Structure 1
Amino acid sequence: MGIVSEEEAIDEFGKLIDKVEEEPLKTTFKNVHQGYMRETLIRFLKARDWNVIKAHSMLVECLRWRVDNDIDSILSKPIVPSELYRDLRDSQLIGLSGYTREGLPVFAIGVGLSTFDKASVHYYVQSHIQINEYRDRVLLPSVSKKNGRPITTCVKVLDMTGLKLSALSQIKLVTIMSTIDDLNYPEKTNTYYVVNAPYIFSACWKVVKPLLQERTRKKVHVLSGCGKDELLKIMDYTYLPHFCRRGSSGSSHHTQAVDCSSVDHPFHQQLYNYVKHHYETQGQAEPAKQGSFHVGFPEPVAERVEMAKTIESELLHKFENCSVGDRKASP
């Protein structure tokens, strides 16, 4: 197509999207771009290395996935009863700790201590997508308005505390959620900060890093210890995730940090009340116990499947060897 610059690619992509005439796709696209169409087109172009045809195909497939799975209504589908939602929050550790000085939301994720063992896969996927949609349709438009400029991405701080070999049993679920993100919420994370990394993570990272695309590798920053000193360069102390406040380095702060992944944290209270309110405005009574909101899982991209298999085989081999060595060394 003779595209020679990013501006031309954006322009050509926009013209192709304008030709989409199916009303359901046009409607759901509005929920995707939230008025920031240019930034949305750029995200999909980046995800496909600025190939307009591939980016167009990716976006159309994303819109069809949204329509086929009624994603536009997922923020009116509460996870009930409330005890089940509490169980999810106790086992799928994620929350909003605050914002960077540039206004980007900071999501804190307890990778090592998330067990994903309190409900079915569908509930965890439903919760994951609801957080994505709340971020994109409520949080980001709000902070964009507050800052007077488009803010369409976030920062994620990944806590590896407690990461164990048994986490391999969750690779399938994590692969499903990461594939959903890759295909339908591309380039929404500006930077990943990894903190409190134990030896097992270092072993994983050596396996994973060469398998990642360069664009993704550049986003991942493995910080020393709890990462506090580095993170304070981009956010205020009050917005540090609770797991990053260890090992004070000349700080006079002594306040106890709140675990933002807790169901009692304002973020999760606001999210849950938002979903419940939208359910009730449809004329429904208090939601009774119901099944999960089933979403069709896209086929994991080949690279992720291969990556998961490589991690599993490499680590099992590594730790089997360690166990054999330990037994030989025992008296």
Structure 2
Amino acid sequence: MGIANEDAIKKFETLMEGVDESLKKTFQNMHQGYPTDTYMRFLRARDWNVEKAQKMLVDSLNWRVQNDIDNILTKPIVPAELYRKVRDTQLVGLSGYSKEGMPVIAVGVGHSTYDKASVHYYVQSHIQMNEYRDRVVMPMASQKCGRLISSCIKVLDMTGLKLSALNQIKLLTVITTIDDLNYPEKTDTYYIVNAPYIFSACWKVVRPLLQERTRKKIQVLQGCGRDELLKIMDYACLPHFCKREGSGSSRHSRNGMNDNCFSFDHPFHQELYNYVREQAAPTAPLKQQGSFHVAFPEPDPDDAKIAKTIESEFHRLEDQKDQNGLVRSLSKQISDLDIKIN
């Protein structure tokens, strides 16, 4: 770490000494014993501008206090059948760990439909996975490796991505904004696999809009990405959709349900769900409850521009698809007419 960076962290620490006691308490839950690492994450997210990083952190701490995020792991989504529906339509899971000890988070972008529960349940579930990752998974990984593990690897499966995904952009923007503003620099690398044409078309227009720091984190792999991913993780830790070319779907596994890290029956989700139920037990009896509402933060202007660009590109591709379909239909009608005339 350079002298300039050390000075920035010291200045950051001094500024944080003056914040309200309630914010200091939630900050302890956030940094899990590693405040310097948290300062560095927020500094990197604001290009080492101390004042901007401090404002970002204070805003995040206020968001945590106002939305009771420290207690979100005591709020189970019940009944279990509702949570199963969330898991079936919000495809996220932990498939294992990299050779360096980082959690490998798999995300089924293409097949996630977000259509079996309210938006608040999906946001609640997402934040619970973030908090469980930061409070349970990473501390255990750090203990096992004998060093701090504070970031993860994400493998994004684009299998099944369609133009209908346009309907999900608003929800995905909410989730991305929550991550960007409150869990910055928690992902070391994003690996994109099974990318169809629609992703490639959008990537061409979105990539130039991303910050250089973000672009460096994103790697688009060929096919299912198995060979490249095996350089950084063992075969057993590969997400199920990366274990063989042409496996087809994020939803299903050919090697049994427990191999599908998206499934509610996967050990990771069983452990997470049981953990939340156990945390809730001392505070109140389990019963049917409404979703845990969290205030949705306003997206960063740059993020809003990216979302708008993706939406515009989807509309363009949809129009192109409709035009191609019309051309094919007219061609067929002309062909049929020609046959009848002859």
Q: Same fold (TM over 0.5)?
A: yes
Partner in structure 1 of residue 45 of structure 2:
47
Q: Output one character per residue of 1:300-328: Cα deviation in whole Å (capped at 9) or x when no partner.
A: 11112221121111221233124313422
Equivalent residues of 1:203, 1:315 under 8 A apart: no
Secondary structure (helix, strand or coil) at the match of 1:247 reads: coil
Asked whether 1:108 is paired with 2:109, we answer: no
Q: Which among 172, 175, 199 is matched to residue 174 of structure 1?
A: 172
Structure 1 ranges of 4+ moved more than 6 A: none
Q: Output one character per residue of 1:19-74: Cα deviation in whole Å (capped at 9) or x when no partner.
A: 22x22111100111001111111000000000000000000010000000000000
Deviation at 1:10, TM superposition (A): 1.3
Partner in structure 2 of residue 305 of structure 1:
304
Aligned length: 321
Gaps of 5+ in 2: 247-253, 333-342
Secondary structure (helix, strand or coil) at the match of 1:119 reads: coil
Q: Which among 58, 74, 77 is matched to residue 76 of structure 1?
A: 74
Matches within 5 A, 1:1-331: 5-20=4-19, 22-247=20-245, 258-282=259-283, 284-285=284-285, 287-329=286-328, 330-331=331-332
Q: Output one character per residue of 1:147-200: Cα deviation in whole Å (capped at 9) or x when no partner.
A: 111110000000000000000100000000000000000000000000000011
Deviation at 1:247, TM superposition (A): 2.8
Whole-Å separation in 1 of the counterparts to 2:305 and 2:3: 33
Whole-Å separation in 2 of the counterparts to 1:171 and 1:183: 18
Whole-Å separation in 2 of the counterparts to 1:95 and 1:4: 39
Deviation at 1:255, TM superposition (A): 5.5
Whole-Å separation in 2 of the counterparts to 1:134 and 1:321: 43
Q: Output one character per residue of 1:272-291: Cα deviation in whole Å (capped at 9) or x when no partner.
A: 01100011022x22x11110
Equivalent residues of 2:166, 2:311 under 8 A apart: yes
* Letter aligned with residue 94 of structure 1: V
TM-score normalised according to structure 2 size: 0.91
* Letter aligned with residue 230 of structure 2: L
Deviation at 1:4, TM superposition (A): 7.0
Equivalent residues of 2:166, 2:314 under 8 A apart: no
Whole-Å separation in 2 of the counterparts to 1:318 and 1:275: 42
Secondary structure (helix, strand or coil) at the match of 2:154 reads: strand
**Higher Cα Rg: structure 1 or 2?**
2
Secondary structure (helix, strand or coil) at the match of 2:259 reads: coil
Whole-Å separation in 1 of the counterparts to 2:314 and 2:177: 22
Partner in structure 1 of residue 337 of structure 2:
none
Partner in structure 2 of residue 251 of structure 1:
none
Percent of aligned pairs with the same amino acid: 64
More displaced stretch, 165-174 vs 201-210: 201-210
